[in-house]
Amino acid sequence: MGIYISPGKHGKLIREAYFAKGQACPIVVVVGADPLLFMASCAEGIPYGTSEFSWAGGVRGAPVEVVRGRHTGLPFPATAEIAIEGWMYPDEYHDEGPYGEWMGYYASGEQRTPIVHVAAVYHRNDPILLGCPQGKPRHEDNRFLAYLKSALIEKQLKAAGVPRVTGVWCPPEAGNRMMIVIAVDQAYPGHATQALLVGGQVGASAYAGRVVVVVDPDIDITSLDDVMWAVMTRCDPARDLTIIKRAWSGPLDPAIHPDERGFNSRLLIDATKPWEWRDRFAEPVITADAAKAARERLGWILDADASDPRSL
């Protein structure tokens, strides 16, 4: 078999450590895993050196049952539908790809990747092939990863010393990586800039990002309508847009010339009320409290089964 792993991902770092010593790298490919383990494998924010089995066990509150491969000794989920055990060698490569990738394009082209020599195949009787086809966002992993990645980024932001972060959201429409929205209750000059710079480069957000937006707490970060309203009405381009260069990307980015992939730039958008005159900023016509009150008073109009309270 062949296998592709993006630059900087933990699996590739481990493989390169074996290859640097001239050693074969053991591997088990799992097809059809427990959904929680699938989420763990996609999370990107779990620290290097932390076992995804341990993380999943911590989330569930119970150990993950595993079996050991007869040839490599690697653990793999006992409940997997199929597990393929084998070895990769530092001097054996072949052409692999292109793959349909998470941005919705066949962008990676063909690449020289290691061959996996299969030593054993383990499977359930009549195994069910489970997968997550990639395509134009939003696809399935965008929907569940939105919550996991958002929580990991928020945790890492706070751990990095950014205070009064009231929420983080990775819109599925942007593939969970290309856009991050951070809500901050500003406490000092430069607070929004700090959140932008740190939030776009923590472990859960650094790979293949495109845009980071910081907004005030009155903005619904899960609503692109609300976020774009903040960008259009609280951001002045000359004052509030920043571009950082040579950030971590990879060979899958169709916006970067094929010969220059590996780096990309990031747009940082400060869509908060300007700190210096935030107390003089125009009052919104509609507030969250006013909208809630309107729904409570007039929501019956949108309910086909509701009766007109004026007739009661």
- The pLDDT value recorded for residue 193 is 97
CA nearest neighbour of 300 among 312, 288, 287 = 312
Q: Mean pLDDT throughout 95-113?
A: 84
| Beta-bridge partner residues of 248 | 263
Q: pTM of the predicted model, to two decimals?
A: 0.80
Judged by phi (left if over 0) then psi (alpha if -120 to 50, else beta), residue 175 lies in left
Mean pLDDT value across the chain: 92
> Which H/E stretch holds residue 195?
helix 191-199
- The string of pLDDT tens digits covering residues 162-192 is 999 999 999 999 988 899 999 999 999 999 9
- In sequence order, which ranges of 200-285 are alpha helices (DSSP H)? 224-234, 237-240
Residue with tokens 């980015």, as numbered in its chain: 253
140-297: what CATH class? alpha beta
- The string of pLDDT tens digits covering residues 195-212 is 999 999 998 999 999 999
**Per-domain boundaries in the chain:** 10-123, 140-297
Q: Check residues 213 and 147 and name the one with the higher pLDDT.
A: 213
Residue with tokens 């309508």, as numbered in its chain: 225
- The string of pLDDT tens digits covering residues 20-65 is 999 999 999 999 988 899 888 887 778 888 899 999 999 999 999 9
- The string of pLDDT tens digits covering residues 288-312 is 888 888 888 888 888 888 888 877 7
Residue 8 is encoded by which pair of tokens? 């900087």
Those residues whose C-beta lies under 8 Å from the C-beta of residue 65, and which sit 6 or more positions away, are 77, 78, 79
